[in-house]
Amino acid sequence: MTAILTQKNATFLVKETVTESELSTTIHTINPFILVLSPRIYNNNIKLIQALKAQKGLLVVGIVFNVHHPDALQHFDGLIYLNDRPETILSTISNLLTEPVSNQNPSSNDTLSERETEVLKLMVSGFSTKKIADTLFISTHTVNAHRKNIMRKLDIKTISGLTIYAVLNNIINLKKV
């Protein structure tokens, strides 16, 4: 992970911490923008990390190397998987550094833009990211940004959940699913 992140000439510090005290001291001393940690460490220190997130505007990225229940991953601002390619890892980190992250309550009633609604219709119809990009004449990166925003705004993390939302809100006809 260190080798991948430092190849872009950015400053990254890798510090493995185990105890709540070490974690708190490290965050207060280094004052990082992004904290990358496993869901296990997050769940073992959930109150501390949520408090530091709110207090310091810290972004938390989960490094997933095991099978986890989706609920265990919902608190992360981004996810990196063990089998992700270096470009994907760098993209995840880069997107977090350049895109503003909303600290709103996930249940807020953000409405989808017209383009996000188009992307949602295609997603729940089974289109791949590439096919959505080709259909809407946009890049795959833009599709991924819309997908991320849709999931954040609706606080729905699965395609099946998005499908139910789309049907219940008359965005797509049940017969088309």
Considering only residues 18 and 147, tell me which one the structure prediction assigns the higher pLDDT: 147
**pLDDT tops 70 at residue 153:** yes
**Residue 75 belongs to a domain:** yes
**Residue 35 belongs to a domain:** yes
Please state whether 57 falls in left (phi above 0), alpha (psi between -120 and 50) or beta: left
Domain extent for 118: 112-177
Q: What pTM did the predictor assign?
A: 0.49
Pair 16, 90 in one domain = yes
Task: Provide mean pLDDT across the span 19-33.
Answer: 77
Pair 140, 169 in one domain = yes
Tokens at residue 173, please?
């006809």
**Residue 62 belongs to a domain:** yes
Which of 101, 123, 142 represents a domain boundary (last residue)?
Answer: 101
Rg (the chain; Cα; Å): 18
User: Residue 70: enclosing H or E segment and its boundaries?
Assistant: helix 70-73
Query: pLDDT (tens digit, 9 = 90+) per residue, 88-135?
Result: 888 887 777 776 544 433 333 458 888 999 999 999 999 999 999 999
Name the β-bridge partners of 64.
81
Most confident range (mean pLDDT) of 14-18, 64-68, 87-91, 161-165 is 161-165
Q: What CATH number is given to the structural domain containing 76?
A: 3.40.50.2300
Amino acid letter, 129: T
Which of 101, 136, 167 represents a domain boundary (last residue)?
Answer: 101
